[in-house]
Amino acid sequence: MTKSLVYDPSGLEHALDHHFLDASLLQQALTHSSYAREAESASNTSGTEARAVGDNEQLEFLGDSVLSFIVSQELFRRYPHYTEGDLSKLRAHIVSARALVRPARQLDIGKYLRFGHGEEKSGGRTKSALLVNALEAVIAALFLDAGLEKVHRFVVEAVLQPSLDELESRVPGALLVTDYKSALQEATQAAGRPQPRYSLVKEKGPDHRKVFTVEVQVPPPLAGGEPLVKRSEGSTKKIAEQGAAQQAWEYLKSLAERPDRVAASVPERSPETA
């Protein structure tokens, strides 16, 4: 079996600001299943008694739950005016694999992982999915070794707050908006545009699982121009309307923040309406 890089998690412990009392927890969190299976196979072929080698899959399962709980708790506390749907969408973004890649790479988790020969050769240390899985496993290990308070602080500082900051910088004020139809109405008034118009474009599926597609059109500020058109799907017309309004609102916000784009930009239309 080709060995991974020398296993020394001290650098990761420093980044986590925690020295593990049970070092085996962190070792397991950093052990990919390919390493564990090869280690077991090697013990079988050596003639010694076969030994089970733990990998990070179970810890990943626990870490995902711990992460989701902490993020849910913080969002509930910070945004009491949000609906359940708003909170769920925000949490889904924060705990998504796409968002978790950043803290995983900032911790340089790939440097500490133990891989088997095949996964090592295929570039496992740089694979986003494996880095995210390892991050969730490390969160579980930190929870088991240090308790909820310690892991809560880590999740807020390394995962939650950077994600919220990124969302706020990309669309200023987005985290304060819960009613995008009202927000879009205000934005169109500020931009000197007529009020948006909503229309049901399509509905599909059985009665108990309907999917509605709603289109919003925001007329141009000057006669002769093309309207801004956005579409969104939802399990109710109201949800679909909010989704379409959010897309249109974010686009108008981006124009307001960059006036140079207003004259040069072509009104954006959804792919379905192009």
Helices 97-106 and 161-170 sit at what angle, rounded to 10 degrees? 120
Tokens for 186, please give them.
């205000």
In the predicted structure, residue 24 carries a pLDDT above the cut 60: yes
Q: Is the domain of 165 the same as that of 229?
A: no
3-class DSSP state for residue 164? Answer: helix
Q: Is the domain of 51 the same as that of 183?
A: no
pLDDT value at position 3? 45
Q: Is the domain of 157 the same as that of 193?
A: no
Q: Is the domain of 105 the same as that of 236?
A: no
Report if pTM > 0.75: no
Q: Is the domain of 36 the same as that of 167?
A: yes
Last residue of one domain, picked from the residues 173, 204, 221: 173
Q: Is the domain of 163 the same as that of 186?
A: no
Are residues 104 and 25 in contact, defined by beta-carbon separation less than 8 angstroms?
no
221-to-162, 195, 246, 265 alpha-carbon distances in Å: 37, 10, 19, 13
CATH of the domain at 67: 1.10.1520.10
Place of tokens 């890089």: 5
Q: Is the domain of 127 the same as that of 248?
A: no
Q: Which residues pair with 233 in a beta bridge?
A: 213
pLDDT in tens, 193-212: 899 999 999 999 988 888 99
46 pLDDT band (50/70/90 cuts)? Answer: low
pLDDT value at position 265? 43
In the predicted structure, residue 213 carries a pLDDT above the cut 80: yes
Active site residues: 64, 136
Last residue of one domain, picked from the residues 145, 173, 201: 173
pLDDT value at position 255? 79
Number of domains in the chain: 2
Q: Is the domain of 167 the same as that of 183?
A: no
pLDDT value at position 128? 93
Range of the domain at 52: 10-173
Decide if 1 is inside a domain.
no
Residue 153 one-letter amino acid: R
pLDDT value at position 266? 42
Are residues 55 and 33 in contact, defined by beta-carbon separation less than 8 angstroms?
yes
Last residue of one domain, picked from the residues 141, 173, 205: 173
Q: Is the domain of 35 the same as that of 107?
A: yes
Q: Is the domain of 162 the same as that of 257?
A: no
